[in-house]
């Protein structure tokens, strides 16, 4: 793929007509579509062009001449520069409303269908919610300063930020303290990133380093960890080089309504928004309408985030996941929570699976799937063979959910209920949930 060339400088006045599915304003000029970051429908703006092609251009708001009634003042000082957020100029209520419209458009556009029932949007806190993140780190020699934060929009530079409003406060309030500690390291120019994992009981920071840490470096990090009440892990190479700087830390999150505590590793996939996750679990269980005769299959089960709560109300549940480490932790969490009716299997759900023990000759009357952004078209094809009559589909991409919906309808399912969930406030990310019935 060719590098994005920076076009010749150009500013223009634009009338914003609508909002794209990435949260950018849409305007038209000289038979071109212009996607304008930071603009809202109904506004007149001066925008600077940032990218150009034959049929469309991209631009960034320079000045708002006429504001939309629903424009608000962004909470963060570096909003517009930082690539971590894209929606702070719109209220949380208006954000989730827009996401609901995008989901509706996806269903109607690709699947030619709308659900019989729309769920009220699921929301919790809008700030300080983010517990998983990858932050860039860079030592700027000219300023003799280390920057820690998200990368700037459309560039590889690290945003010069002292705090982050969406990160959990254990880290978001302390970026400067963290940067100052890294500044003291002998290898400060060889630290490119930090992986963040904030549990209910601890915060782990995985420091990626390209040169070995000295004993003094390690002590600097331990002192910082003590000050911030966090734990440092280090990573000198691939994923197998992640190790605790001091003592290993057991990280946990919980499903209090179901008396379940989940343990996980700092590198494991978990939902970024724990409070929303708890509400999402409860909603999924309600939509599955479980009873003690149900046999349920949970595909793309991860750590057992949905599987273990399902097990509390069903006769049997089987979780399937492609990552062996996650399967091992799911089994461990089932045992730790004294759940004996949940079984877990490793399988690549994008490949042939009909010969596996959990599939061959088995039937499940209910299913839950929670795939990655690419969706689950391969496994959707197999649901009728498994006998699934009721399916809850959790999605992080309206486009692939709509594509899979079209196929589910061809297979004899109907789209009963759907709605959006605010897993990533202040961003254009859309999390949604849908119920299909035979």
Q: Residue 153: what pLDDT?
A: 86
Q: What are the start-end ranges of the E strands in 4-152?
A: 11-15, 18-19, 25-29, 32-37, 44-52, 56-66, 117-118, 132-140, 145-149
Domains contained in the chain, number:
3
Q: Do 382 and 298 lie in a common domain?
A: yes
Which of these ranges, 60-64, 151-155, 274-278, 412-416, has the smallest mean pLDDT?
151-155
Q: Looking at residues 82-86, what average pLDDT do you find? A: 93
Beta strands in 268-389 (DSSP E): 295-299, 316-321, 342-346, 366-369
Greater confidence, 66 or 6? 66
Best CA proximity match to 47, nearest among 32, 35, 59: 59
59 occurs within a structural domain: yes
- Determine which one of 396, 401, 415, 430 is catalytic: 396
Residue 1 has pLDDT above 60, yes or no: no
pLDDT at 156: 84
> Model-level pTM?
0.93
Task: Indicate whether 3 pLDDT > 60.
Answer: no
Cite the annotated binding site by residue number.
76, 82, 85, 164, 271, 300, 305, 321, 348, 370
Host domain of residue 34: 11-71
Confidence of residue 7 (pLDDT cuts 50, 70, 90): low
User: Mean pLDDT across the stretch 5-10?
Assistant: 68
Average pLDDT over residues 154-178: 94
Sequence ranges of the binding site for [4Fe-4S] cluster: 76, 82, 85, 164
**Would you list the DSSP string of 7-21?**
PPP-EEEEE--EE-T
Q: Within this chain, do residues 228 and 291 fall inside the same structural domain, yes or no?
A: no
Give 433's pLDDT tier (boundaries 50, 70, 90).
very high
Quickly tell me which residue has 């959707």 as its tokens. 380
Query: Do residues 367 and 395 both lie within one domain?
Result: yes
**What's the pLDDT score for residue 9?**
74
Tokens for 83, please give them. Answer: 């690539």
- In sequence order, what DSSP letters do the residues of 122-180 get, joined into one string? B---SSS-B-EEEEEEEEETTTTEEEEEPBBTTSSSBP--S--SSB-HHHHT-HHHHHH
Residue 396 catalytic?
yes
Q: Give domain status of residue 255, yes or no.
A: no
What's the rounded mean pLDDT across residues 413-437?
Answer: 97
Domain containing residue 172: CATH number: 2.40.50.1070
Asked whether residue 119 falls in the same domain as residue 137, the answer is no
CATH of the domain at 17: 2.40.50.140
Residue 80 included in any domain: no
> Do 422 and 351 belong together in one domain?
yes
What band does 6 get if pLDDT is binned at 50, 70 and 90? Answer: low
300 and 236 fall within a common domain? no
Query: Residue 350 falls within a domain, yes or no?
Result: yes
Q: Both 230 and 145 in a single domain? A: yes
How many other CB atoms are there within 10 angstroms of residue 413's CB atom? 22
- pLDDT for residue 21: 87
Q: Is residue 265 part of a domain?
A: no
Same domain, 418 and 331: yes
Q: Are residues 155 and 293 in the same domain?
A: no
Q: Tell whether 147 and 191 lie within a shared domain.
A: yes
- Say what the pLDDT of residue 4 is: 52
Q: Do 136 and 117 lie in a common domain? A: no
Residue 325 placed within a domain: yes
Binding residues for S-adenosyl-L-methionine: 271, 300, 305, 321, 348, 370
Residues 187 and 285 in one domain: no
Work out the angle between the directed axes of helices 215-228 and 175-183 (0-180°, nearest 10).
170
Percent of the chain with pLDDT over 70: 98
**Of 82-86, 114-118, 272-276, minimum mean pLDDT range:** 82-86
| Domain-located, residue 40 | yes
Q: Is the pLDDT of residue 18 over 50?
A: yes
The two tokens of residue 191 are 């630290």
Per the domain annotation, does 420 fall within a domain? yes
Q: Is there a contact between 36 and 27 (Cβ–Cβ < 8 Å)?
A: yes
């Amino acid at each position: 793929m060719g590098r994005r060339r920076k076009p010749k400088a150009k500013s223009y006045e634009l009338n914003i007509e609508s909002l794209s599915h990435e949260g950018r304003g849409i305007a038209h000029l000289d038979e071109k579509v212009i996607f304008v970051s930071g603009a809202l429908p109904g506004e007149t703006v001066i925008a600077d062009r940032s990218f150009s092609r034959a049929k469309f251009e991209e631009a960034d708001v320079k000045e708002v001449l006429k504001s939309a009634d629903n424009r608000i003042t962004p909470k963060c000082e570096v909003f517009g520069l930082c690539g971590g957020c894209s929606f702070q100029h719109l209220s949380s209520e208006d954000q989730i409303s827009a996401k609901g419209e995008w989901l509706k458009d996806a269903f109607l556009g690709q699947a030619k269908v709308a659900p019989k029932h729309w769920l009220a949007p699921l929301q919790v806190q809008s700030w300080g919610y983010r517990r998983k993140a990858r932050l860039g780190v860079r030592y700027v020699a000219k300023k003799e300063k280390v920057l820690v934060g998200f990368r700037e929009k459309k560039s590889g530079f690290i945003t010069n930020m002292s705090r982050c409003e969406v990160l959990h406060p254990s880290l978001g309030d302390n970026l400067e303290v963290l940067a100052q500690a890294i500044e003291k390291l002998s290898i400060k120019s060889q630290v490119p990133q930090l992986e963040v994992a904030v549990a209910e009981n601890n915060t782990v920071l995985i420091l990626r380093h390209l040169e070995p840490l000295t004993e003094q470096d390690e002590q600097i990090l331990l002192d910082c960890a003590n000050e911030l009440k966090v734990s440092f892990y280090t990573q000198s190479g691939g994923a197998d080089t992640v190790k605790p700087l001091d003592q290993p830390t057991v990280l946990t999150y919980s499903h209090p309504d179901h008396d379940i505590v989940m343990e996980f590793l700092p590198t494991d996939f978990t939902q970024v928004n724990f409070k929303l996750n708890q509400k999402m679990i409860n909603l999924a269980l309600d939509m599955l309408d479980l009873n003690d005769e149900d046999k349920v299959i949970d595909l793309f089960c991860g750590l057992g985030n949905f599987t273990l709560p399902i097990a509390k109300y069903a006769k049997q549940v089987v979780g399937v996941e492609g990552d062996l480490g996650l399967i091992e932790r799911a089994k461990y969490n089932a045992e730790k929570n004294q759940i004996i009716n949940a079984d877990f299997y490793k399988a690549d759900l994008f490949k042939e699976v009909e010969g596996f023990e959990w599939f061959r000759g088995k039937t499940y009357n209910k299913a839950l799937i929670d795939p990655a952004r690419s969706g689950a078209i391969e496994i959707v094809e197999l649901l009728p063979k498994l006998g699934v009559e009721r399916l809850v589909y959790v999605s992080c991409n309206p486009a692939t959910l709509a594509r899979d919906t079209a196929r589910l309808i061809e297979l004899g399912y109907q789209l009963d209920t759907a709605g959006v969930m605010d897993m990533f406030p202040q961003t254009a990310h859309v999390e949604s949930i849908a119920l299909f019935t035979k």
